[in-house]
Amino acid sequence: MEKLTSEDAMKLSTQDKKIKSNFEEIKPLEDPRGKYPKPPFERQFQPFPGLAHNMNPVPDHGEDSYIGAGRLKGRKALITGGDSGIGRAAAIAYAREGADVVINYLPEEQSDADQVLELIEKAGQKGFGIPGDLRNESFCKELVGQAIEKLGGLDILINNAGHQKTNESILDISTEAFDRTMKTNIYAPFWIIKAALPHLRPGSSIIGLSSVQAYDPSEDLYDYAQTKAATTSYVKSLAKQLGPKGIRVNGVAPGPVWTALEISGGQTQEKIEVFGEDTAFGRPGQPAELASIFVHLAENVGSFATGQIYGSAGGSGQP
């Protein structure tokens, strides 16, 4: 058995104290209706892909609230779109649960990514950023290879990155724009999973990002909704294929969540102003509210969950 260094022992002791304090602290009930900002929101637009730290209000990814308990100690995760939104929330949670993390993002999102990498390191874990465009098959292969090299292996893969643009009519969608949505949301996970699969051992976990759009698509998200229905199907199909190998495949289907995806063309300005008001709580979700789902789907206690789509949509959606 490998002997702990004094530095490792001190780190574990500090984590144990935090965990003990967290469990001993009485947690008052929180009313979900008023926990986070409600519309009306300020109309705001950023050129694609948008930056989370420039939004108003700035999304909560769990920076100050997520407390880990060592549930993913020693794990090695690759998260696409890990610089902001739901991917960022998952990256923060994973690091605080003891995992080393590689995040992928577009070069324009470097400032958001730097914040995430700093938070991973503050959690005492290794964090690496690999920028690049997932529409490129060769880059997707390189991404997996670099992630494995940097982490020393791979056992959690989250295909979170997505492209979403609102269009009033199908006539407004160019072939180029349609191609971008399909390649980002469907081709990239296909390429990445193929590259990663030979390296995944029994007990590993693959998680895809679906959406309520797969079940109840909006009229102005014609192409995006198709990709989320396809994601739901690939999760269920791949789970059957990989179950005999001991690899679990699941998906998460959010409803309206306050992320940079929405203010960089994912919603009209009119919809930004009232974003999330039609949920049961009268507000959009925050990325931090979904983080624990990704932890559960990757940790050992979720071992019987495969081929499942976990919904978190504030009262809407069907999974």
Q: In terms of DSSP H, where are the helices of 97-173?
A: 110-122, 137-151
* Crossing angle of helices 110-122 and 85-96, rounded to 10°: 20
Query: What are the tokens at 55?
Result: 């939004």
CA–CA gap between residue 126 and residue 144 (Å, rounded): 16
The verdict on whether 224 is a catalytic residue reads yes
CA–CA gap between residue 192 and residue 137 (Å, rounded): 8
CA–CA gap between residue 152 and residue 170 (Å, rounded): 45
Neighbour-count burial of 317, counting CB atoms closer than 10 A to its CB (0-12 exposed, 13-18 middle, 19+ buried): buried
Query: What are the tokens at 152?
Result: 């020393």
Q: Which residue has the tokens 């994601």?
A: 231
Catalytic residue (choose from 36, 66, 224, 310)? 224
DSSP letters spanning 150-166: HHTS--EEEE-------
Say if CB 84 and CB 51 are below 8 A apart.
yes
Query: What are the tokens at 242?
Result: 């990989």
Query: What are the tokens at 138?
Result: 């060769």
205-209 vs 156-159, strand pairing mode? parallel
Identity (one letter) of the amino acid at 283? R
CA–CA gap between residue 294 and residue 90 (Å, rounded): 6
Say if CB 252 and CB 309 are below 8 A apart.
yes
Task: Enumerate the active-site residues.
Answer: 224
